[in-house]
Structure 1
Amino acid sequence: MEGSRFVLVLALALTAITPTLSTYHSATLLNVRHREKVTHLHFYLFDIISGTKPSAVEVARPKGTKYDKSATPFGSVWAIDDALREGPEFTSKVVGNAQGLYVSSVQDENSLGLVMYADFGFTTGKFNGSSFSVFSRNPIMEPGERELAVVGGRGRFRMAKGFVKVKTQFLNVTNGDAILEYKVTLVHY
């Protein structure tokens, strides 16, 4: 018994001090040309906070904001699973959903701004199973269109880059429900 422990300890010690030979490996494919494609998308995002089945829910609120009565006090975090529809009506066909987070990032109580990460996935049509990702500042209170950055994609939008023009179509300032028009320009392979 004592001898087998000694052999085990000796084997572990020798393993620990034995040099290991390894090399970093990478491969680069030369002369492979991918043709970039440009895709334009147009849809409406329904961000619903009210009701019995909201598509956006607050998941965190920092201490010190419990008396802040605004819909999105500074530092609050919201999880979203918003419907993407062909038109601005609730009866419009659903084409996908946007899932992700947004964080209230403006301290001024008279303004509203978010930092948003969302993956816009499509569930119908030729882009079914594909998505693009947005990670950007979203200054909600700016009039007209706002621009967000596209930082990636998958499926038919693999390696996407581009931008989104967002315009608020409807905003209920009482409960925070919103319908947003998205015009997207994607450059991808």
Structure 2
Amino acid sequence: MALTLTKLLLFSFLVSSTVLTAKSKLLTSKREKLTRFLVYVHDQNAGSNATTVNVAQASTTNQSATSFGLVGIFDDALTMGPEMSSKNLGRLQGMVAFASRTEVAVLMSMNFVFTKGKYNGSSLTVVGRNLLFSKVREMPIVGGTGLFRLARGYVQTSTYLFDPNTGLLVLVYDFSVYHY
């Protein structure tokens, strides 16, 4: 039994080594390139069609000037232009956590999921700190899928429009992405 298990482990190692070698050759045969583009996000944080919902909060969040301890989930429209009627590119899905006791700053973990256009079937993952009242905020791109496999880089975001009466927030995201 032990001999058979040893042979099985050795065979498994040889197969996975071959697969890793083949994949790494495939990646090294491609050149890394820089892609820059803009997208717009439409976040509706009020009403029956809200795309952002609060899912948790600390017992002290309501007394906090910075919403410290509040956690939300979002599933927002991703478009080519600032108008909701512009070409739909996909969804921005993720989580936001108010993580500072002294500033209105959030920890964001989000996936830009492209379902249409030239990046259809691909995604970008951004995880980082967002200081909400800064004019321009920068966060790191930590990965991607599809055309953005092995992505790295940064994204800068700013508020394009905020309507406190309707709860509509339109953000612009300016990507600088290195990928293969």
TM-score scaled by length of structure 1: 0.79
Q: CA deviation at 1:154?
A: 0.3
1:168 paired residue number? 159
Q: CA deviation at 1:64?
A: 2.0
Aligned match for 1:185, one of 171, 176, 179? 176
1:92 paired residue number? 86
> For residues 175 and 92 of structure 1, what CA distance do their matches in structure 2 show?
19
**CA deviation profile, 1:53-91 (whole Å, cap 9, x unmatched):** 1111101111122445x6x71111111101111211232
Q: 1:44 to 1:56 in 2, by over 3 A?
A: same
The alignment's C-alpha RMSD in Å is 2.3
Q: CA deviation at 1:174?
A: 6.7
The one-letter code of the counterpart of 2:119 is F
**CA deviation profile, 1:104-133 (whole Å, cap 9, x unmatched):** 11212xx41111000101111121111110
The one-letter code of the counterpart of 1:128 is N
Structure 1, 33-42 or 99-108: larger mean CA deviation? 33-42
Q: 1:56 to 1:182 in 2, by over 3 A?
A: same
> For residues 182 and 133 of structure 1, what CA distance do their matches in structure 2 show?
13
Q: 1:76 to 1:141 in 2, by over 3 A?
A: same
- Structure 2 gap segments, 5+ residues each: none
The one-letter code of the counterpart of 1:167 is S
The one-letter code of the counterpart of 2:144 is G
Aligned match for 1:137, one of 124, 129, 136? 129
Matched, 1:112 2:108: no
- Match of 1:127, SS state, is coil
- Structure 1 gap segments, 5+ residues each: 1-14
Aligned match for 2:113, one of 115, 121, 124? 121
Structure 1, 147-156 or 21-30: larger mean CA deviation? 21-30
The one-letter code of the counterpart of 2:105 is G
Q: CA deviation at 1:135?
A: 0.5
1:5 paired residue number? none
Higher strand share goes to which structure? 2
Aligned match for 1:54, one of 47, 50, 55? 50
1:103 paired residue number? 97
1:148 paired residue number? 139
The one-letter code of the counterpart of 1:134 is V
TM-score scaled by length of structure 2: 0.82
Matches within 5 A, 1:28-67: 28=21, 32-67=28-63
> For residues 176 and 112 of structure 1, what CA distance do their matches in structure 2 show?
18
Q: CA deviation at 1:33?
A: 2.7
